[in-house]
Structure 1
C-alpha cells in the first residue's frame, strides 16, 4: 500500500521537527517554508519542499501542489504584525485551494483561547464560533465546518524547547505579576509526539488541550528557568487577586493513551533538549 501523504504548512520551530518525525514514520511529506535557504534542509530531511508566502505573489501553483495530500497540518501561528484580518484571509485562501483528495485537517491552535477563569479549564470552556472575540476560535470554527474535510484542533500551552528557553523571557524583570498563578507549558518533544499520535491513530473530529500535566507557579518556574541559564531571576510583585487558568489535558492523554516525555516543566529545564 502506498504510504499516506501529509502536507505540513509552516515548517518552522514546530513544523519542521514534526515533518521530520513523520518522514521517519514512513509518511510522504510535503512541507512549506517562506525562506529559500531552508529548501535544501527540507529536501535533505526527505520532505518535498515548497516555497510559499502570503500574499501568494504568484505562488498559487506552489500552494496547490503543497496541498496534494490526504491530510493537511495547518501550523501557521498568527503574528501581531500580520493582523487578524490578514491571518483569517490566509486560512481562507488555503482552504479554498484544498483539493478534493484532502480528507483531514489538523489545526494547531493555542490555549490562549481561554479567558482567565481562575480555575481549571477543559476544552468545552472555549467554544469555536464565527462571532467569537478570539481570532483562533473563529478560525477553529472555519476549519471545523469545511465540507468534506474532518478536522481536529490541538490547543497548545506555552511552547518551550529547542532554542526557546523560558529562562530568557522574564530574567531580570521587576514587579512581575501573578507569582502564584500556575504555568501551562509544553515541551517541543511532546508537541511533536502528540501531533504524530493524532495522525497515526486518526483521531478526527476532536478538540484537544495539550499542556504538561504539572503546573508549577509562575514564581517557581521562571525563577528556576533563569537559574538554569545563570541569569538574574525575575522579581515578583506581591500577591494580588488571582487571574489565571489551569489547562487540563486529560482528554488527549486518555484518547491517545499518551504519557508525556516532559510532564514537569521545572524538571525539564535541565534537559539537553533546548
Structure 2
C-alpha cells in the first residue's frame, strides 16, 4: 500500500519506519525543515506541512495520493480556542482528502475524550462537551466530523498515556509532594503496542470502528509512579492520604476481542 502519515513525531516516525519495513510506500509530513532530511535518510518521502489552522504546504499534492492516511496531530496546548482551532485543522484536512485517492483514514485520538466519571468506560461512553479538558472535547468533535464523511472510511484509536523508550513515566511526577488522585488507576500504553494496534487495523482492513488503546494492567498511581521513580534513582512522589476510590478505568476489551490483539507490554509496572 501507499500510506501517508500526517505527523511524524514521537509516535509517527517509528510507525513510518515499521510500515516501511513491511514494504509499504510511506510518505511522511513534518513541520520542521531540518526533519525533512531525516525522513529522506529513512526512505520516507518527506513533506513540509503545517496546519495554522488551515493547511500550509507547497508542492504537497502527492502527499494525498495514497491509499490510507494516518492522522496523528493532537490539539495544540495553551490556546483559549483549542476546540475551534483543532476543528478548523481537521476541516482543512477533510477538504484536501475529498477528491483524493485516499480511501481509509486512521485517526489517532485519546482517552481524554471520556468524561471524568468513575467506573469502567468503553468506546460508547462519551458525552459531547463533557471531557475533563478542552483537548478532549476538541478530539471528540474531530472524531465525529471524520466518522461522518462519505468519501473515505475512518477508524479511530483512543490511546491512553504514552510511554516507552525516551518517554519514561518516572519524569511525570518525580519529587512532587501530596499529589491528588493516588488511588486512580493508570491508563497507559507502550509505543510498541500503539504501533502494533495500528498495524493490525491496517492488515485486517478495519473500517468505521473506534478502539481504546490501553494496556491490560491498571496499577494505582500511588504504586506505579513511586516505583518508576525509584527505578531511575529519582525522588519518588508522595500522594495525599485521603483519596477517593471512585476513579476511571478505560477498557481495552474491544481491541483484544475484535482485533485479537495481545499486548507486548501488558502491565506498565514491568517497564
Partner in structure 2 of residue 202 of structure 1: 205
Partner in structure 2 of residue 94 of structure 1: 93
Deviation sequence 1:86-105 (CA, Å, 0-9, x none): 21111111110113311111
Q: CA separation in 1, counterparts of 2:59 and 2:28?
A: 11
Deviation sequence 1:65-110 (CA, Å, 0-9, x none): 2111111110001121353322111111111011331111100000
The structural deviation recorded for 1:63 is 4.1
RMSD after superposition: 1.7
* Structure 1 segment 1-274 matched on structure 2, within 5 A: 4-55=1-52, 59-82=56-79, 83-98=82-97, 99-126=99-126, 134-268=137-271
The structural deviation recorded for 1:181 is 1.1
Count matched residues: 263
Q: CA separation in 2, counterparts of 1:167 and 1:215?
A: 16
Deviation sequence 1:225-274 (CA, Å, 0-9, x none): 11121000001001323452101101011122111000010112xxxxxx
Contact 2:119 2:246 in 1 (8 A): no
Q: CA separation in 2, counterparts of 1:157 and 1:72?
A: 21
Q: Which sections of structure 2, spanning at least 5 residues, go unmatched?
A: 132-136
The structural deviation recorded for 1:116 is 2.4
* Secondary structure of the structure 1 residue equivalent to 2:13: helix
Q: Which sections of structure 1, spanning at least 5 residues, go unmatched?
A: 269-274
* Secondary structure of the structure 2 residue equivalent to 1:258: coil
* Secondary structure of the structure 2 residue equivalent to 1:173: coil
Deviation sequence 1:186-216 (CA, Å, 0-9, x none): 0011111111111111111100000001100
Contact 1:152 1:203 in 2 (8 A): yes
* Secondary structure of the structure 1 residue equivalent to 2:51: coil
Contact 1:107 1:151 in 2 (8 A): yes
